[in-house]
Chains A and B, each alone.
Chain A
Amino acid sequence: MYPFSFSKATDERSALAAASSGARYIAGGTTLVDLMRETVERPTAIVDINGLPYRSIDLQASRLRIGSLVRMSALAAHPDVRREFPVIAQALELSASAQLRNMASIGGNLMQRPRCLYFRDVSASCNRRTPGSGCAAVNGLNRGHAILGASEQCVATHPSDLAVALVALDAVVITRDGTGERQIPIGQFFRQPGTTPDREHDLRPGELIVAVDVPTGPEMRRSGYLKVRDRESFEFALTSAAVALHIDAGVIRTARVAVGGVGTVPWRLPAVEQALRGHAPGAELWSTAAARAADGAKPLQENGFKVELLKRTVERQLQMVAGQA
């Protein structure tokens, strides 16, 4: 680990001031400390934002507001979240381990960096870590990598489960910097790698995530998260699906579907949603809609299995959420 100076922000102003002079924010630290030890991250200054007042979980009629410093475990355990947004609680409790969920913040969860082994190994070529150095994963060990949204420059998946749920639900990321507040629709927050894989999100330098808003709606209560992985617990997704359905008078009025473990960003499936909307729930519909889940997929040498696995994951989760499994 490289040396760095350390300060604690006592309020938002001091946090933004530190960041504008180059300091990196730290909250839970579970990603940043790990990557600093691997020397993938080499900040020269760190500002601890844990003293800032972004710890509340507030459900109102039109939205749930989640403070960015709320811990994963606290959000997952919150009775309003468990009742009104089961997909959020489930995505969180299927993430990481109990210890890490006690430490890791919601803002930090969105800022997680890829788990690609070449990204984490400073001796390997990686365009995301070192732009222009090449991508060792494209023709390397890529069983866990993306089949959607990849480029020649980068094929790493986005690691967050929570982000998949938030993308399905059209959450909004609320940020502040010296010029004021922005509300960024989460679908625009994450950036596909393209030719600039080192640009992972829409944040400006020094901009701070203060909260995440999730809209309410009749489909939110009927929602859930399915995660398929190599072992039963404490593992990243091979495939995952966040689904929310509003079924009224025997017809699907609203469908929200996003998937993880397969995309360079959390991946929304509008074609699947479109295939569901206005139809009566049933086995044939789940199968027909899920057949669109891997539209546009471009598998790599070792991850072709994800195409079929993804369709089955979506089909299973549509059944589960509809209560027809």
Chain B
Amino acid sequence: MGSLLAGCDDAEPAVGEDTKTTVSLRINGEPHEVIVDNRSSLLDLLRERVGLTGTKKGCDQGACGACTVLMDDTRVTSCLTLAVMHDGADIVTIEGLATNGRLHPLQQAFIDEDAFQCGYCTPGQILSGVGCIKEGHTGSAAEIREWMSGNICRCGAYTNIVTAIAKTSTGA
């Protein structure tokens, strides 16, 4: 059982000890120590090993943005990086954005502005939007669209996504 593509399945074929590595990460403020197959993406570690399935797998090749998380305060696509490269990293996923039971302002804005339909791309859109705001690329709707182009929404909720990010960036 297990396939060549699923890098972090416990039922992997035996591949020798030098193809597994222990990784210590801080995820949403909590320390985690995980022994991973070296092939595991950060995305697969989050979903399959830590059980944080809010981060989504869309294309698994960096083209759709559904897997976007914050790593050391910077937005990245978690599918295109190996978990073993990030020992000591601080990761924030959609599960870790709320504080004390209150949604992050951008999460609330997505609800208020109806910025999603099916919801599959939404965790990645929100984490990317948080990064976009931190980077200061929210000066106009056009600037937001350009700097959010790494996140695809096949339902086509872009108009309201841009509004949610614009309003959050100005505190409106």
Q: Is A34 in contact with B38, judged by CB distance below 8 angstroms?
A: no
Q: Is A233 in contact with B145, judged by CB distance below 8 angstroms?
A: yes
Question: Is A305's CB within 8 Å of the partner chain B?
Answer: no
CB-CB under 8 A from B153, the residues of chain A are none
Q: Type the 1/0 row for A72-113, where 1 means its CB is closer than 8 Å to any CB of B.
A: 000000000000000000000000111110110000000000
Query: CB-nearest residue of chain A relative to B131?
Result: A98
CB-CB under 8 A from A48, the residues of chain B are 84-85
Q: Is A1 in contact with B4, judged by CB distance below 8 angstroms?
A: yes
Question: Is B118's CB within 8 Å of the partner chain A?
Answer: no
CB-CB under 8 A from B76, the residues of chain A are 99, 102-103
Query: CB-nearest residue of chain B relative to A4?
Result: B38
**Cα–Cα, bound, A187→B145 (Å):** 35
CB-CB under 8 A from A39, the residues of chain B are 4
Question: Is B172's CB within 8 Å of the partner chain A?
Answer: no
Question: Is A63's CB within 8 Å of the partner chain B?
Answer: no
Q: Is B77 in contact with A99, judged by CB distance below 8 angstroms?
A: yes
CB-CB under 8 A from B4, the residues of chain A are 1-2, 39
**Cα–Cα, bound, A48→B87 (Å):** 12
CB-CB under 8 A from A3, the residues of chain B are 15-16, 19, 37-39
**Cα–Cα, bound, A99→B149 (Å):** 10
Q: Type the 1/0 row for B7-42, where 1 means its CB is closer than 8 Å to any CB of A.
A: 100000001101101000000000000000111010
Question: Is A185's CB within 8 Å of the partner chain B?
Answer: no
Near A by CB (< 8 A), chain B positions 36-51 give 37-39, 41
Question: Is B95's CB within 8 Å of the partner chain A?
Answer: no
Query: CB-nearest residue of chain A relative to B74?
Result: A102
Query: CB-nearest residue of chain B relative to A48?
Result: B85
Q: Is A6 in contact with B38, judged by CB distance below 8 angstroms?
A: yes
Question: Is B160's CB within 8 Å of the partner chain A?
Answer: no
Q: Is A99 in contact with B75, judged by CB distance below 8 angstroms?
A: yes
Near B by CB (< 8 A), chain A positions 31-82 give 33-34, 36-37, 39, 46, 48, 50
Question: Is A5's CB within 8 Å of the partner chain B?
Answer: yes
A117 to chain B, nearest CB (A): 13
Please tell me which one of the listed residues A1, A29, A34 contacts residue B85 in the complex, with CB atoms under 8 A apart: A29
Q: Is B149 in contact with A33, judged by CB distance below 8 angstroms?
A: no
**Cα–Cα, bound, A6→B36 (Å):** 11
Q: Is A98 in contact with B61, judged by CB distance below 8 angstroms?
A: no
Q: Is A98 in contact with B81, judged by CB distance below 8 angstroms?
A: no
Q: Is B128 in contact with A99, judged by CB distance below 8 angstroms?
A: yes
Q: Is B80 in contact with A6, judged by CB distance below 8 angstroms?
A: no
Chosen A-B contacts, 30 in total, with CB atoms closer than 8 Å, are A1-B4, A1-B7, A1-B39, A3-B19, A3-B37, A26-B85, A29-B81, A29-B82, A29-B85, A30-B77, A30-B80, A30-B81, A33-B41, A33-B81, A33-B82, A34-B61, A34-B80, A46-B82, A48-B85, A50-B85, A97-B151, A98-B128, A98-B131, A98-B132, A98-B148, A98-B149, A98-B150, A99-B75, A103-B76, A234-B63
